[in-house]
Chain A
């Protein structure tokens, strides 16, 4: 099996707070891996370490390695901008820019130098189709993205992310702010996307994890307690804590 991301002995600190402890995990390519665990145990911090979004926080420190396709992303010579093009992110609360729908999806492309109108139009259409949003917006591309519903906005954010053709898509609880129908639509979308993209999804919803992901990692207090195939984690957890969490005794 091919692993696209390999994390070795990762420790993350914010000033004195030790948030992630000795994380070791390999993320398989072109599959969906979900990260489960109770609130505040470091899942979001972990994925933000994968695209170096934690660099924005001045108190962030880390040691250990994070390899993307064999290269350490924290090597000082690494172009962070390019890294973030390859590792995209969808946030918990849909955050489309206060621009038109078209400009939202085209944003990443323009930022990376693509300005040809036809190329942009074509790529925007492709991305919106991949995100299962095209039919709903093809006639209102010039309208502000703020006028869309929550579910539509989140799909727009996904379209925006895949427009730049990343290798990995990080999703931080993408459905927690949405209603069940929008959630279903997005889960269908994830199924569609996993053929071409590696997806890492943080979720509180264990049913969602079983529905969409092939692999799962269980985080507790900043550590990975157990990780492996989703079926195995949920049906035959090897660690007591995992079993307690899954059966709902806490979290």
Chain B
């Protein structure tokens, strides 16, 4: 085979793989829309998205409390995981001696690999009673779910942010230190700001996992369809709703669950647009852009 032909086939082969992944995602989205649109059509878009009652046995399909549930859990967990993850990443990238890094990095990777059902179980057995003892109520709550999620997305945020911090050229660090800055001043004023695009990427990845997490949340969030009065009230996430009821839903209930999937997709798209916009803005301002 001539070298040109080989190149051609490799190129087209790679193109095919890339296109097929796009096609697969496209097909999934089309299927979800196809199954979900009938529910929205017959029940009404505003009734569906802004309805307060989810009660299939009575023909009620309002998902608004669950939108709040999903958003609340995701944002609350990001609020806890991002600062914690960044501090951890800064520690690993700049402060920790090599021996400590050798222990901590594999530990974090193991944490990332633990299946969500294990986290859910751990949450149910240990975290829920703890929450009940500390904060009252049943222990099942939006906050409990956020805590479990924080532990689950922490490894992602730490490892991607750590990579971003480490990729900052050594020259910047040297220039800063040569001017008489302390190590911490250098981290705060030079290294970290330059790594922000990479940090935002890590947040996007963590957010993606948080929004999609289903099983662990089902076990600890309480699954009550309501708008929570406080973060210690139980909630139901959009993902949990689909998982709990998909097994036996028929007819318009079935379509309504797919419509829930549509709402979920839109929610993710909106969150991603916001995050990518921040990524873009930070990249342009800094002018360097790493990751």
Contacts and interface: CB of A to CB of B under 8 A. Distances in A.
Interface string A129-148: 00000000000000010110
Contact of B180 (A56, A81, A157): A81
Interface in B165-194: 169, 171-172, 174-182, 185, 189-190, 193-194
Among A82, A91, A99, A164: residue with most chain B CB under 10 A: A99
B286 interface: yes
B92 to A, nearest CB: 17
A144 B185 CA distance: 21
B178 A51 contact: yes
A112 B180 contact: yes
B190 A95 contact: no
B288 interface: yes
A126 to B, nearest CB: 16
Interface in A77-114: 81-85, 88-89, 91, 93, 95-99, 107-108, 110-112
A98 B286 contact: yes
A84 B179 CA distance: 6
Contacts of A29: none
B106 interface: no
A119 interface: no
Given A91-B171, A91-B174, A97-B175, A108 B190 contact: no
A43 interface: no
B287 interface: yes
B179 A98 contact: no
A85 B179 contact: yes
A173 to B, nearest CB: 14
Interface string B260-291: 00000000000000000000000000111000
Given A98-B194, A98-B287, A144-B287, A89 B189 contact: no
Contacts of A160: 175, 179
B180 A84 contact: yes
B179 A107 contact: yes
Interface size class of A (residues with CB under 8 A): 20 to 34
Contacts of B171: 91, 93, 95
B79 to A, nearest CB: 28
Given A98-B194, A111-B189, A147-B287, A56 B177 contact: yes
A146 B180 contact: no
A193 to B, nearest CB: 17
Interface size class of B (residues with CB under 8 A): 20 to 34
Nearest to B171: A95
A97 B286 CA distance: 9
Nearest to A111: B181
Contacts of B177: 53, 56, 84
Among B169, B180, B182, B185: residue with most chain A CB under 10 A: B180
A111 B287 contact: no
A237 to B, nearest CB: 33
Nearest to A93: B171
Given A91-B174, A95-B175, A146-B287, A107 B189 contact: yes
Interface in A35-57: 51, 53, 56
A33 interface: no
A8 to B, nearest CB: 24
Given A95-B172, A97-B172, A98-B288, A108 B194 contact: no
A157 B287 contact: no
Contacts of B286: 98-99, 144
A242 interface: no
A196 to B, nearest CB: 18
A68 to B, nearest CB: 14
Given A98-B194, A111-B185, A82 B180 contact: yes
Among B178, B181, B193, B194: residue with most chain A CB under 10 A: B178
A246 B183 CA distance: 41
A81 B287 contact: no
Given A51-B178, A95-B174, 20 more contacts: A56-B174, A81-B180, A84-B177, A84-B178, A88-B178, A89-B178, A91-B171, A91-B175, A95-B169, A95-B171, A95-B175, A97-B172, A98-B194, A99-B193, A107-B179, A111-B185, A144-B287, A146-B288, A157-B175, A160-B179
12 contacts: A53-B177, A81-B181, A84-B177, A89-B178, A95-B169, A95-B175, A97-B190, A98-B286, A98-B288, A111-B182, A157-B175, A161-B178
- Interchain residue pairs A-B with the least CB separation, the first 5: A85-B180, A98-B288, A144-B287, A95-B171, A89-B178
Interface of B: 169, 171-172, 174-182, 185, 189-190, 193-194, 286-288
